[in-house]
Amino acid sequence: MSLVNEIKENLNTEWIPRIYEDKIRSQRTRSHKLDIPRKENKAIIQHTLLGVELKVGNKRFSCPDLSTARYLQVFAWLGCQEIAVPYDITKISSLADELESSWHKMLLLVDRETSNKSPAVRGRLRAGLIREARHQIDEIGAGELMPEFKKSTKQRRN
């Protein structure tokens, strides 16, 4: 079994694509595009006079609040260009917590598995995990640009 698969097995339900599929895509979402490279990126949250921004490379993305910036930051770290964002903004903060903790746990497992190996091996394993996570998230998809709304209401039911 390769180290990538071993780390995925260790993470189990905390594997980012599994969280994405089970807890994010299972609810009503809207798609969001990030114009970023498809590789591991350095993403920084900045607080400006105009609000919260996510800075990836030399590009800045305005975010409505800190929890949305934290949520998008995880996917920017992975290099995902198109993702689903929960339509219910009250759920974004807890999902951002879960995604961030999964990201850091993944990096800790990489460090543990490669503690006696060269930095090149560590880098290849980390890049392989990120590539695999990005590929799985792309396969799951980002969904529609806007969620579907039910047009009937309780008041108009016959």
User: In this predicted structure, what is the pLDDT of residue 153?
Assistant: 60
The pLDDT-based confidence of 156 (bands split at 50, 70, 90) is low
76, 46 Cβ separation under 8 angstroms: no
Rounded to an integer, the average pLDDT of 109-136 is: 94
Q: What is the pLDDT of residues 50-92, one digit of tens each?
A: 899 999 999 999 999 999 999 999 999 999 999 999 989 999 9
pLDDT for residue 145 is more than 60: yes
Q: Is this structure's pTM higher than 0.85?
A: yes
Provide the percentage of residues in the chain whose pLDDT is more than 90: 84
pLDDT of residue 157: 54
Q: Contact 85/28 with Cβ under 8 angstroms? A: no
Between CA 80 and CA 27 the distance in angstroms is: 20
Question: Which residue in 106, 45, 97, 108 sits closest to 78, CA to CA?
Answer: 106
Place of tokens 């009250």: 90
Domain ranges of the chain: 3-142
State residue 73's pLDDT score: 98
| Mean of all residue pLDDT scores within the chain | 91
